[in-house]
Structure 1
């Protein structure tokens, strides 16, 4: 079996002998290659997003499932959907090998269990209406591959995000996305370029899906939750901009009364 690209030796050596300036410059140089690799995968991402939108507009949900850094990135993306777009919790769900403890603490051997991923999905009553996206930089994580294999056997649409060509996970994904970023700056440290690539792709997926589902108007997050003073101020200024209301306190009162920018604007229109 060929060595995975994500495990190939770094293009840099003797890192411990580099100055801080050299280390930062070299890391930055490598990071600049990531968006180019993402661009090469845009058609794959488009196919996955199209499938997600189709299912979610029909009442389905989006699941991200992963282990380690990949799992944490999925949970991060999922957790930001309710406050940013006003979607109820449970519409976009992140699942990680080892459970919630694994968000902050590594859980030994959790990613090696081929059956546990499917068991974790079943706790959320995953069904044919949903889409499950496996996130695995290596593309070989048994926890994730096993989950996607079970999903396909149960007619659930699957996607994947990995950073190796012809990855094992791609074989169990209806819509595989492979972002080939090359060897890591620190050999095998896939939390670096691979993690950055995964974060970029997850941002693109969730943002595009939410726009397609009508959670953005113009370029504004009109359904964001009013969870702090900054967001209330932002929402108030959106209302003033969109409605012509010039009194800040009046716009703010309307926002708090209606509960969202969209509802406040609709009340004035």
Structure 2
């Protein structure tokens, strides 16, 4: 049977027409432009007024190493505080109690709506509002003595993180099938026990990826604590270049350490994701 016979009536036979190939010159042009820009940036750093000997010299300086330790300690503690507050606030958001729900909404609105650096400065200068902190008649102390750079940074970073983490945790809990709540209620579990034993373990599969990303962001957000004199990595680098005027060199040192930490945390996050994804999806392996 001829090709013409197999075609529907009124339609021409296009099988003999040449196939037009799409030109890819724009793709090659874009790639060449990107390579040219990268080469120009690399040449600027290589031939610029940068003393690379200072970079290698201060990369392992004791004050820099102490700064990275302080950075990681603050990131871990602030993230732990943020996760705790996030879980509590997420539960309050899902509560049928209108008072708890309103408090949770106000918390997320306030701490997500103001800049983190502003919150750090407010915590550090809280003594101007509350000169003394304590329990009336039992214990009190001067706020200026209590609100050290460490505590101010911990409260500022942790409470701010809690506002964002609460939305992550709430999304994770909402992703659990409603039948799980009903099944827990049917076997006599209370609301909080069901959350702890059934809902939260299943929600972790959903919240681990964004929480891992939030922790990586927290590591870098600790650099804002330099404005309140907390001796993290960037503040340590600043103290050095204030003395020797090698600004770019010390900023490169800080940048290399941040990149190293993130490069280590990223595969650890992937391993943790796979751990919690077991039993739910074969494609997650």
**Normalising by the residue count of structure 1, what TM-score does the alignment of the two structures yield?**
0.25
Per residue, is there more helix in 1 or in 2?
Answer: 2
Larger radius of gyration: 2
TM-score after normalising by structure 2: 0.24
